[in-house]
Amino acid sequence: EAGVTQFPSHSVIEKGQTVTLRCDPISGHDNLYWYRRVMGKEIKFLLHFVKESKQDESGMPNNRFLAERTGGTYSTLKVQPAELEDSGVYFCASSQLTPTGRDNEQFFGPGTRLTVL
């Protein structure tokens, strides 16, 4: 079974440009999460989809970030326009829905390393 995949693995762009990151979750996983790790600091939650709906987007830093999950399958995270402080590693994770919503293992992708120059 394929794991969570992310594309691209690396992206180097200039300040002001637009970048779109993609995440393909494990097939059948309704939960999809985006996280970010900036400069070796803690991994921070960005947002959570349940199927195609945004369940929690409290971690999105500002309106330059737009996440979508049309059809409830893969997700994209667009940064427009990118700023220097957006550099970091963006992780995607997916998990199954459980009756309690708790303790369901999140499976992570390898991450996309974004560098904004």
Partner 1 sequence: GNSVTQMEGPVTLSEEAFLTINCTYTATGYPSLFWYVQYPGEGLQLLLKATKADDKGSNKGFEATYRKETTSFHLEKGSVQVSDSAVYFCALEDNFNKFYFGSGTKLNVKP
Distance CA 4, CA 111 (A): 10
Residue 88 as a binder of partner 1 (CB under 8 A): the answer is no
- Name residues whose C-beta falls within 8 Å of residue 110's C-beta, 6 or more positions apart in sequence: 5, 6, 9
Question: Which pair of tokens denotes residue 26?
Answer: 């494990």
Residue 103 as a binder of partner 1 (CB under 8 A): the answer is yes
Residue 85 as a binder of partner 1 (CB under 8 A): the answer is no
CA distances from residue 92 to 11, 16, 44, 74 in whole angstroms, order as listed: 16, 24, 11, 10
**Segment interacting with partner 1 (CB under 8 A) among 12-20, 34-42, 61-69, 80-88:** 34-42
Q: Binding residue for partner 1 (CB under 8 A) from 14, 83, 85, 105? A: 105
Query: Quick one: DSSP state of residue 100?
Result: S
Q: Binding residue for partner 1 (CB under 8 A) from 35, 49, 65, 90? A: 35
Residue 4 as a binder of partner 1 (CB under 8 A): the answer is yes
Positions touching partner 1 (CB under 8 A) are 3-4, 33, 35, 37, 40-45, 48, 56, 91, 93, 101-111
